[in-house]
Every structure is written in structure tokens, then in C-alpha cells.
Amino acid sequence: MKPLKRGELIFYYGDGKGKSTAAFGAAIRAIGNGYNVLVVQFIKSNKASGEGRFFSSLPNLQLYVGGSGFVGIMNDRKSIEEHRKAAKSTLEFASNALKSGKFFLVILDEANCAVKLGLIGIDELIAALDARSTTTNVIVTGCGPEEKLIEKADIVTEMKKVKHIYDQGYLARLGIDF
């Protein structure tokens, strides 16, 4: 086995639960080893989530919540243009952070969904990933990435839904889903 001389690019995707949770587990591991971590959330809109409240108490972790909220669900009344503007601004912030070399790990939470929803372009996301510092590891979560993103990745894990309570009409629950 040989050591990797650059940061890894990891994708957690799929229709199953656990993508962000897996990424947050990696953040805890990195922080536990004294590394700086940045979590950039593309879809969520405030720090009132369970992870937001928890992350604000952690040393070495910065949380940037740049989204305008869930798109087209959970009583969303914002225009697609408002969501697009927030996602583009979030990508600009993430891109600068990725280049900075200040973070051992950057999590781009729901960035794949931002691409799928047309909020940011795939080429814009690829440019940000390609321009990252060689010392920065990146985890991208969300729905399925396009093939050219999978080709760039070092690790790709699909979370597959077998059964989900949402399919029975239940909403997301505080403490379990956010």
C-alpha cells in the first residue's frame, strides 16, 4: 500500500438515509484528530438543525449554511431563482474555502442535489473541486452524481433506500432527520 499525496474526493449519494450522517461522522473523526473541518450546506437554510446546534459547540469546525431551504418541499414558497442565487453564492464561498488550504476536510452537503435541481452547474462544481488545495479532502453528499463526477472521485458510496417512512406520508422529524 502507498500513501496518497493529495486530499481525497468522496461522494456519498443515493435515495437512502445516511449520506450527510456519514459525512458528519467523518467530520467528527477529523476533529478528533485535531484537524480543521468546514461543513457547507447547500440546501438547508438555518443553523437550527440538530447538527447546526452541535457543530457550533465543536472546536475546529466551521459551519456555513448557505441554502434558502428545502426546494419544492416542506412548505417551500421561495422561487427557484432565490434558491439558485443562494446556491451560487454558497458555491462561491465553498470554492474559496477549498482553495485556501485552511481545512483538512470540507463537506459539501447536498451539493449533488443542488446540481440535480439546476441550482448550480456541474461544470462549476467540478471547477471548484479541481481548484482545491492538494491538502484538502472533500466529501460531497446528495442525490446521484453525474458520471463525470463519479470518474473524478476516489471513493463513491451509494446509500440505497429499502424502506422509508416518508413514503407513508410522514414528515422529517427533529432529532432524527435534522
d(C-alpha 14, C-alpha 107), whole Å:
16
Q: Considering the domain boundaries, does residue 17 fall inside one?
A: yes
Residue 4 located in a structural domain: no
Residue-level pLDDT at 48? 67
Global pTM value: 0.90
Domain that holds residue 14: 9-168
CB within 8 Å of 115: residues ≥ 6 apart = 121, 122, 125, 142, 145, 146
Residue 178 lies in a domain: no
**Per-residue confidence at 164, pLDDT binned at 50, 70, 90?**
confident
Percent of the chain with pLDDT over 70: 92
Q: How many domains does the chain have?
A: 1
Q: Is residue 90 part of a domain?
A: yes
For 48-82, the pLDDT digits (tens) are: 678 888 888 888 999 999 876 665 555 657 677 88
Separation between Cα atoms, residue 114 and residue 21, nearest integer Å:
18
CA 118 vs CA 8, 71, 80, 83, 176: distances in Å: 26, 11, 9, 10, 28
Yes or no: say if 155 and 149 are a contact pair by the CB < 8 Å rule.
no
pLDDT of 174 strictly over 90: no
Count the Cβ atoms, other than its own, within 10 Å of residue 24.
20
* Residue 47: pLDDT over 70: no
